[in-house]
Amino acid sequence: MSNRPNAPPAHSLGQKTFALDGREVDLLHYIHSRPDIKQLRGSPQKVVSAIDEYHTKFNPLINVGSVKGAFVTNLIAERKPSVMIELGGYVGYSAILFGDAIRANGGKRFLSIEKNPEAAAVANQLVDLAGLRDTVRVLVGASDEVLRELVGDRKEIAQVEMIFIDHWQKLYQPDLWLLEELDVLVPGKSVLLADNVIMPGAPEYLEWVQATTRQKRELVKKLDVGSLTPNPNLVYETSVSEFDTDFGKDGIAVTRVVGKESV
């Protein structure tokens, strides 16, 4: 079992809650009550558009959104990963959008890890509606537990080609350290995409991926890494792309694993 604290029960900006308050199930009812439900079946683009419409007209949803979503799908088209992992799937918007892009670019699987079982159930329903059941799999559980199971127990993942990190920002850094420990980040192949690095922000994660290997070795001496074994010798190149979203200015950090220093 994971020994890390539970993530907050809801996502909020200021005092206003934007998730896990019933709107996720309401979204499912809204989509299945639409008069064009038959046209939505088997169409990822139409399902995503329906989610966007609910977000605009009824209740805001903490999805990646169309602007940042297009940025990521362009990277998928450029890199053409065979398998992509997502930490934090919520209602399946990104799983549908990115899973469709994976399939369109010759990829095989999109694995979405979501801790909240209710959100994961909604995501599963919408993924099925979009016709992506053969490509997208929603896995319920804490990110560290599921990652260890995929890499260690079942050995489904030998290397991480592309990962979209979009769960609780406090877990960005420890989950990156876990990936380093599991030795699945490959120089020249692995790309990490971290959402929400401006709002609400992920300063600890950015400090690590923007640091030199020497700086990371010093950080390991000062930081509480718990039972994890970070690898400060991996060389990263990181850039942050900024976007105007419905909630304000935000950014995605793109980190490419470019090398590995020997000590």
- The ranges assigned to domains in the chain are 17-193
Mean pLDDT within 187-198: 97
- pLDDT-derived band at 11 (thresholds 50, 70, 90) equals very low
With cut-offs at 50, 70 and 90, classify the pLDDT of residue 155.
confident
Stated pTM of the model: 0.93
79-124 pLDDT per residue, tens: 999 999 999 999 999 999 999 999 999 999 999 999 999 999 999 9
Residue 141 has pLDDT above 60, yes or no: yes
Cβ atoms of residues 45 and 226 within 8 Å: no
The mean pLDDT of 219-238, rounded to a whole number, is 97
Average pLDDT, integer, range 55-81: 97
Full DSSP string of the chain: ---SPPPPSS-EETTEE-SSSSHHHHHHHHHHTSTTHHHHTT-HHHHHHHHHHHHHHT------HHHHHHHHHHHHHHH--SEEEEE--TTSHHHHHHHHHHHHTT--EEEEEES-HHHHHHHHHHHHHTT-TTTEEEEES-HHHHHHIIIIIS---SSBSEEEE-S-GGGHHHHHHHHHHTT-B-TTT-EEEE--IIIII-HHHHHHHTS-HHHHHHHHHHS--TT----TTEEEEEEEEEEEETTEEEEEEEEEEEEE---
Residue 14 has pLDDT above 60, yes or no: no
The answer to whether 77 and 84 have CB atoms below 8 angstroms apart is no
Mean pLDDT value across residues 125-132: 98
Residue 10 has pLDDT above 80, yes or no: no
> Average pLDDT of 39-51?
98
Average pLDDT along the chain = 93
Instruction: State percent of the chain over pLDDT 70.
Output: 93
CA distances from 253 to 44, 195, 227 (A): 26, 7, 26
Pick the CATH number of 17-193 from 3.30.830.10, 3.40.50.300, 3.40.640.10, 3.40.50.150: 3.40.50.150
